[in-house]
């Protein structure tokens, strides 16, 4: 059973049940209504005290709104109702709680995704929520096969070319799909910096160096593609992935890394994982031990 209809095909038996927001219009499917639901607008008390409470739809123009990421609007039922012109729901706006000033909210810089781990120096994993909203990707499962890696590539490129990793040295990002095509495009990004393409900062770090700050998984289904990733990003930046239990996942570890030397396999399966998640793994292990029942002495 899956809650996202665009990622799976019921006709191909990739799932038996799908929970959707609309009644299907095609296919020999049995469908029934489950329940009603409502959308609403919410704000913290601190925000309302600082900016006031809107009483009408028109007053929303004066407020900072965070809505759905566009890729998640896979059904018209998720669209907000009558919204006046000039009211913008900005999913790319980062809103962080301040520890000073009573917990008020503020708007941060517009980065390509929400990175909750940057202030805690903890890893943040990035996976596109859904494929690109492009009709050209509707056929042949291209929304997943091509769209998802493209989304990952865009996130990686914006992190590198926007200087995000430089401004936040404690930010560690793990990208799905082997980082998309970022390894193949790293040289092109470097050329863009070398020739100072429009809107690039003069003090931007070399993209060929910056990409080595990213972590990626091994889900590329090609020894040649994985070899390129290891060469461009570095052997210390690749972690074994699985994408289990989804159809595009690897059947086993040997599928992706079985051709590599044993020492490198161990690095991808264990050493790099502990390097990236070591602190969290130790903390989780400690919490697990603290919850375990004590054996009688």
| pLDDT at site 24 | 73
Domain boundaries in the chain? 116-297
Considering the domain 116-297, what is its CATH architecture?
Answer: Alpha-Beta Barrel (3.20)
In terms of C-beta distances under 8 Å and separation of at least 24 residues, what long-range contacts does 91-94 make, across chains too?
91/66, 91/67, 93/64, 93/66
pLDDT at position 105? 28
- How far is the first Cα of the chain from the last one, in angstroms, to the nearest whole number? 46
> CA 60 to CA 62: how far, in whole Å?
5
pTM to 2 decimal places: 0.59
Q: In the 8-state DSSP scheme, what is residue 286?
A: H
Give the list of residues 6+ apart from residue 23 with CB closer than 8 angstroms, or none: 31, 33
For the chain, give the number of residues. 297
pLDDT at 244: 73
Q: Residues 50-75, buried b or exposed e (16+ Cβ, 10 A)?
A: eeeebeeeeebeebebbbeeebebbe
Cis, peptide link before residue 245, omega less than 30° from 0: yes
Q: Walk along the chain (297 residues) in steps of 10 and give the mean pLDDT of each run.
A: 55 73 75 81 86 84 67 51 51 33 32 38 56 77 89 93 89 92 97 93 94 96 97 97 81 92 96 85 56 44
Task: Give the pLDDT of residue 293.
Answer: 47
- State residue 113's pLDDT score: 38
Are 274 and 267 within 8 A, CB to CB?
no
Instruction: Kindly provide the residue ranges of all beta strands, DSSP E only, lying in the chain, ordered along the sequence.
Output: 95-97, 105-107, 123-126, 172-175, 215-217, 238-239
Confirm if 207 and 190 have CB atoms less than 8 A apart.
Answer: yes
């Amino acid at each position: 059973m899956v809650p996202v209809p665009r990622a799976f095909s019921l006709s191909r038996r990739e799932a038996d049940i799908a929970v959707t927001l609309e009644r299907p219009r095609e296919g020999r499917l049995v469908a029934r209504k489950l329940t009603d639901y409502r959308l609403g607008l919410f704000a913290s008390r601190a925000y309302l005290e600082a900016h006031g409470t809107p009483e009408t739809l028109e007053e929303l123009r004066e407020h900072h709104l965070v809505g759905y990421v566009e890729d998640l609007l896979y059904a018209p039922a998720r669209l907000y109702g009558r919204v006046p012109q000039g009211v913008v729901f900005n999913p790319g706006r980062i809103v962080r709680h301040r520890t000073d000033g009573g917990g008020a909210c503020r708007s941060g810089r517009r980065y390509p995704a929400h990175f909750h781990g940057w202030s805690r120096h903890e890893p943040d994993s990035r996976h596109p929520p859904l494929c690109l909203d492009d009709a050209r990707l509707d056929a042949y499962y291209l929304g997943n096969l091509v769209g998802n890696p493209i989304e990952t590539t865009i996130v990686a490129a914006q992190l590198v070319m926007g200087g995000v990793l430089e401004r936040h040295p404690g930010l560690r990002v793990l990208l799905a799909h082997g980082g998309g095509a970022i390894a193949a495009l790293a040289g092109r990004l470097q050329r863009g910096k070398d020739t100072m393409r429009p809107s690039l900062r003069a003090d931007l770090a070399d993209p060929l160096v910056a990409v080595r700050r990213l972590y990626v998984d091994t889900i590329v289904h090609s020894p040649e593609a994985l070899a390129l990733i290891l060469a461009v990003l570095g052997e210390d930046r690749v972690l074994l992935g699985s994408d289990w239990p989804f159809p595009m996942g690897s059947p086993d570890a040997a599928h992706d890394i079985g051709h590599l030397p044993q020492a490198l396999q161990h690095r991808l399966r264990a050493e790099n994982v502990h390097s990236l998640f070591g602190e969290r793994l130790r903390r989780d292990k400690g919490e697990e031990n603290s919850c375990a029942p004590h054996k009688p002495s």
